[in-house]
Chains A and B, each alone.
Chain A
Amino acid sequence: DGGITQSPKYLFRKEGQNVTLSCEQNLNHDAMYWYRQDPGQGLRLIYYSQIVNDFQKGDIAEGYSVSREKKESFPLTVTSAQKNPTAFYLCASSMTGKNEKLLFGSGTQLSVL
């Protein structure tokens, strides 16, 4: 079955540590996205990519980095520069085009030790 796989489901980060969240899709979607969700709040866009080897900053990119070396993969690194990383991280993908719908992975809950 086609879908979006995020791993791990839960992740703990020590102070000063970089951690990487995985996102893989087998839907042949061109576009991929990373959102952050804090408790009781909506989704805020971190980074997005519409094509391999290209990506753009979203609204809250500081302290995060991404790569898009393969169409099906869009990993997110939370660096030590992100001082408040505790949140629910959601990866999504879609075809490109103004009417295309985003589908989401199951999310990764990141917490600070």
Chain B
Amino acid sequence: QKEVEQNSGPLSVPEGAIASLNCTYSDRGSQSFFWYRQYSGKSPELIMFIYSNGDKEDGRFTAQLNKASQYVSLLIRDSQPSDSATYLCAVRDPDYKLSFGAGTTVTVRA
């Protein structure tokens, strides 16, 4: 079974700091990569997607992809209490299935 692994949490960061989330995947043929944010009891919402090696920035979020190392990460700069949530890494394989990691729970301390 194809695997998506995320760094274990929970991750606690002070307000204004950088939160760093990591994700590795097993299928070298994976083509696209997504980060979702999920608040407790709610459905996931897409916050970032990346398809090419390198960095992609969107506001306070930066996604980084390294296909050779099969590694994707998410940085949250200037963390806010509203960023407290579970972050899910999702990877699309060549069969177009989207597989999810177990998630990393982030808590931003005021």
- Chain A residues with CB under 8 Å of chain B are 31, 33, 35, 40-45, 48, 50, 58-59, 90, 96-99, 101-107
Contact = CB atoms under 8 A, between A and B. Distances in A.
A50 B105 CA distance: 31
Nearest to B6: A42
A77 B40 CA distance: 25
Contacts, number: 55
Contacts of A103: 46
Interface range on chain B: under 10, 10 to 19, 20 to 34, or 35 or more?
Answer: 20 to 34
B97 A45 contact: yes
A99 B98 contact: no
B103 A101 contact: no
Contacts of A98: 31-32, 92, 94, 96
A102 B49 CA distance: 11
A3 to B, nearest CB: 11
B39 to A, nearest CB: 12
B25 interface: no
Nearest to B93: A98
Given A42-B88, A99-B31, A59 B1 contact: yes
A19 to B, nearest CB: 20
A90 B44 contact: yes
Interface in B32-86: 32, 34, 42-46, 49, 51
